[in-house]
Copies of this chain bind each other. A is one copy, B any other.
Amino acid sequence: MAEAAPKFPEVQGGGSLIIAWQIRDKHVLVVGGGEVAAGRILHCLNADAKVTVVSPAARLNPEVAYRVTQNQVTHVDRNFEPADLDGADMVLVAVDDPAASTTIWKLCKERRIPANIADVPPECDFYFGSVHRDGPLQIMVSTNGKGPRLASIIRKFIAKCLPSNAGHAIETVGQLRVRLRQMAPRPEEGPKRMAWMTKVSDAYPWDEMCGLSEEDMANLLRFYPSGKVPSLDELKAMRANPEVSKNVFDGSFGFSVGA
């Protein structure tokens, strides 16, 4: 008799390990100041890194030059020297000089510094993809090198599919969690807090949460002591409508969710 197939996900090789690298206040060295460097610098600044660009000033593209004048990056006006690697937590190279690139890559590997040499896949600890950003939401599309153009097209396709202001829904949930902890700070309430947050997540379609206001959140939090969660329609009906609020709390307003 054949054995039953195991219920665990099958391994699907050939991918990358896609991760959200934490570079807040870390030192990123960018060698080169052209268009590719400009894109990478923006990625790093969006993640709050301290960026140093090593490149002769004459070769900076307008975007990189602008970021230098705005003090968004530190500029070293010359070609790369090995001492530039001192203190670097990550190195990104984007220069049209394969020999120099390979030299920098080898130095990075000796020092165990994660590095990416643009356009030289074997000299990359990691690749970049196309990233959609909306507040705390980041969505990265990788085609694992099969079609960088397609990655960007698919990213735009996804951006169109998402409800507008999707990042706001995430902010809302994040703020709700913070306020709830302020309202019910005792550690022993942890399980009750968590159960209620789960109930909220299950009660409202996430895309509908994009439209919740400060007032809605304040109204929603009033339900926490009872452990209940109003339906989205009930919550909306409470907007600037104390009568409904009163009815909700004296029980004369029906709960359709979490009651």
Contacts and interface: CB of A to CB of B under 8 A. Distances in A.
Interface of A: 6, 8-9, 11-23, 42-49, 62-63, 66-67, 72, 90, 111-114, 116, 124-129, 131, 133, 135-144, 146-147, 149-150, 153-154, 157-158, 161-162, 166, 169-171, 173-174, 198, 201, 206-207
Query: What's the number of copies of this chain in the assembled complex?
Result: 2
A138 B142 contact: yes
A99 B63 CA distance: 46
Contacts of A43: 17
Given A112-B112, A150-B170, A21 B17 contact: yes
A129 B18 contact: yes
A155 B8 CA distance: 20
Contact of A12 (B19, B114, B133, B169): B133
Nearest to A174: B146
Contacts of A66: 6, 8
Given A11-B46, A146-B171, A174-B146, A18 B17 contact: no
A150 B206 contact: yes
